[in-house]
Amino acid sequence: MKIAITADIHLKQSKDEAPERYNALINIIKKIKDEKIDKLIIAGDLFDKEAKNYNIFDEFVKINNDITFYVIPGNHDVGLNQKYFTANNLQIFNSAQVLSFNNNAIKIFLIPYSADNSMGEVLAQNEQQLPEKWVLLGHGDYITGQSTPNPYEPGIYMLLTRHDIETYNPVKVILGHIHKREIFGKVHYVGSPCGLDITETGKRYFTIVDTNSGEVTSNKILTDILYYNENLIMLPVEDEFGYIEQQIQKMIKGWSLSDDELTKVRLRLKINGYTSDLKKLQSIVNDALKNFTFYNDKEPDLTEVNVLKDNERIQIIELVKEAIEKNDKELGLLQLTQNDVMEQSLHIILNKA
């Protein structure tokens, strides 16, 4: 049996405010129906903090009466309660619980968010009722020392440690809270189904877990908006405008989006570095991106681009650029990008600390 999982939708009070979040949920429902899946778990932060009116979601659940919705609260909707809803196909869980769909399959252990406990404490309290094979589903921070900080959620929430996982040994762990889809070993962060703002970039996914095999897969969501927050470096090389056009094409290619998805992009672009002709740079950049929509309608930010007229240094920069491109493999081993090294080299060549 397959069960779909999403988290961190952060629905607003009305559908008019951030409608893309509702639309992402609608797309998930469409996709899981296509796959004949009839269960959707929402792993916390279904609602944004100020939500008080739940009728739109209640109606939405009722309309989709062939799906059962299982919801655990997250830190944004911590007081969420069954009595706020009338739909029969919706279950809200306020305490840790085992979900069991058929006897032989892997079970799901739900841990709703609580400000007073870590996930490890909840696991210890429930050790006796943990099934033989189970997937942990919760909302909080998994600490490996390598997770990406979430600017939306500073601090640590409902900690889960690697030690907890080793001690209780779930088949998989599926978590809400970090809005970026990330995978650390058996731990999967689902990620928000639609970026909430410019910091939540790239394609979005929901998760499907197979309760027979324990296999977890990521499935793309067709969102209304795809955020990209990019930085490029302008170099005053011989063919500087050809160079920046090439950088822009490389950036777009790196997103690997379909033509339709490219129309969903909301781009914030900042360019650093040096040019011989700022006015021309602006027109080249705007022309290369004329089919794109910019985040908050702000054109690419060129305020950090300096003008350089020194021919000798331009030649030196050209040589350094070639050397950096030739040694891309070595830079990769040092976990450096060509852009990082070029930026540092520019500071040195141009005497700017």
Interface positions with Mn ion (CB under 5 A): 8, 45
| Distance of closest approach, residue 239 Cβ to Mn ion, in angstroms | 45
Nearer to Mn ion, 6 or 64 (CB): 6
Nearer to Mn ion, 94 or 339 (CB): 94
Nearer to Mn ion, 195 or 300 (CB): 195
Ranges assigned E (strand) in 73-225: 90-92, 97-99, 107-111, 134-139, 142-143, 160-161, 172-176, 182-184, 187-189, 204-210, 216-221
| Distance of closest approach, residue 199 Cβ to Mn ion, in angstroms | 12
| Distance of closest approach, residue 297 Cβ to Mn ion, in angstroms | 27
DSSP 185-239: TTEEE---SS-SSTTSBS-EEEEEEETTT--EEEEEE--S-EEEEEEEEE---TT
| Distance of closest approach, residue 36 Cβ to Mn ion, in angstroms | 29
Query: Which residue minimizes CB distance to Mn ion?
Result: 45
Nearer to Mn ion, 8 or 141 (CB): 8
| Distance of closest approach, residue 197 Cβ to Mn ion, in angstroms | 12
Handedness of CA 194, 259, 263, 250 (dihedral sign): positive
Nearer to Mn ion, 37 or 78 (CB): 78
| Distance of closest approach, residue 74 Cβ to Mn ion, in angstroms | 6
What whole-number distance in Å separates Cα of residue 56 and Cα of residue 66?
Answer: 18
Q: Distance between alpha carbon 71 and the CA centroid of its chain, in Å? A: 20
- Using DSSP's 3-state secondary structure scheme, residue 182 falls into strand
- Closest to 68 (Cα-Cα) out of 95, 88, 84: 88
Both structure tokens of 175:
């978590």
Nearer to Mn ion, 45 or 240 (CB): 45
